[in-house]
């Protein structure tokens, strides 16, 4: 029993480490932002005390303009998160993944990589369009950040490439494999997907992450290679960052047609993956 609990803890501690790491970076950035705003107020009003300037800044931050200012500040400093993830977190995660790896990866052919690529793009865009439509129908607000300057290069580096690699190594490579040592495969898959979904925050993202997380685990299991799920995850995230804003600006009928076409492409490519075509060639 103790060994089983230890295996479970060794698995779930890594998502907690990711959350704590990101929270610490966010806390430091927000602290610097507030300090900078207070200093700006003090420079503008030399007669104010630190407490008065802090009170004014807190009042500003409670407004919509203040929220947008914080969001823009975080976007402008996204490169810090990219560098810290790439230089600090990724090497640590990869070291522990390789140290405790129990699988001998199978070869994933170039043709299979193409199937994964197109299937992931189609599924990600289709799910996002459907969930956005459902959210609008029920009056659930989704932040689009259309009024903010989006540093697309750093967003692709962070959310499109480095983030997916770290998440796949953690959730599929470490959490999923370790949970399989303590419970049946289907339970390990379900619990891993739940953790992956909860890690992504709001309700809409949880639903999306649960669906895509199930698909990523399937790719990982089907090819027995973390490369397959990494390709799937990167393809989904990059395509969403680049293509989704354009699709959402289309007329309603074109959005519906795009959704149908993407669903067809996703289903067709998934069948190619499921049948295991050209896994070794």
Report the sign of the C-alpha dihedral through residues 74, 77, 82, 84, in that order: negative
pLDDT at residue 139 in the model: 62
Q: What is the pTM of this model?
A: 0.89
Count CA within 13 A, CB hemisphere, residue 262: 24
Q: What is the pLDDT of residues 19-36, one digit of tens each?
A: 999 999 999 999 999 999
**Residue boundaries of the structural domains of the chain:** 2-141+148-274
| Distance from C-alpha of 164 to C-alpha of 208, rounded to nearest angstrom | 15
Q: What does the CA dihedral 200, 202, 208, 210 come to, rounded to 10 degrees?
A: 60
Spell out the per-residue pLDDT of the chain, length 281, in tens.
Answer: 677 777 778 778 999 999 999 999 999 999 999 999 999 999 988 889 889 999 999 998 889 889 889 989 998 988 898 999 999 999 999 998 988 776 667 788 899 999 999 999 999 999 999 999 888 776 655 554 455 677 899 999 999 999 999 999 999 999 998 888 888 888 999 999 999 999 987 778 899 999 999 999 999 999 989 999 999 999 999 999 999 999 999 999 999 999 999 999 999 999 999 887 443 43
pLDDT at residue 7 in the model: 72
**Nearest residue to 179 (alpha-carbon basis) of 1, 2, 6:** 6
Six-digit token string for 13: 């501690």
């Amino acid at each position: 029993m103790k060994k089983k609990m230890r295996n479970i803890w060794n698995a779930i501690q890594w998502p907690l480490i990711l959350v704590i790491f990101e929270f610490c970076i966010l806390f430091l950035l927000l602290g610097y932002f507030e300090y900078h705003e207070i200093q700006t107020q003090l420079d503008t009003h030399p007669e104010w005390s630190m407490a008065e300037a802090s009170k004014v800044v807190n009042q500003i931050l409670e407004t919509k303009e203040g929220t947008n200012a914080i969001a823009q500040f975080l976007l402008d400093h996204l490169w810090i998160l990219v560098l810290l993830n790439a230089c600090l977190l990724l090497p640590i995660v990869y070291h522990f993944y390789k140290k405790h790896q129990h699988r001998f990866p199978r070869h994933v052919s170039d043709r299979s990589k193409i199937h994964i690529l197109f299937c992931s793009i189609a599924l990600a865009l289709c799910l996002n369009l459907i969930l956005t439509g459902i959210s609008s129908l029920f009056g659930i607000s989704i932040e689009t950040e259309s009024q903010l300057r989006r540093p697309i290069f750093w967003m692709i580096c962070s959310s499109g490439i480095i983030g997916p690699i770290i998440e796949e190594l953690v959730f599929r490579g470490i959490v999923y494999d370790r949970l399989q040592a303590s419970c049946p495969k289907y339970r390990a898959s379900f619990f891993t997907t739940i953790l992956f979904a909860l890690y992504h925050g709001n309700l809409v993202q949880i639903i999306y992450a649960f669906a895509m997380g199930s698909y990523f685990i399937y790719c990982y299991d089907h090819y027995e290679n973390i490369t397959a799920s990494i390709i799937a995850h990167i393809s989904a995230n990059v395509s969403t960052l680049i293509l989704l804003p354009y699709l959402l600006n289309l007329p309603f009928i074109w959005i519906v047609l795009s959704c149908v076409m993407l669903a067809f492409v996703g289903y067709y490519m998934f069948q190619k993956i499921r049948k295991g075509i050209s896994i070794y060639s």
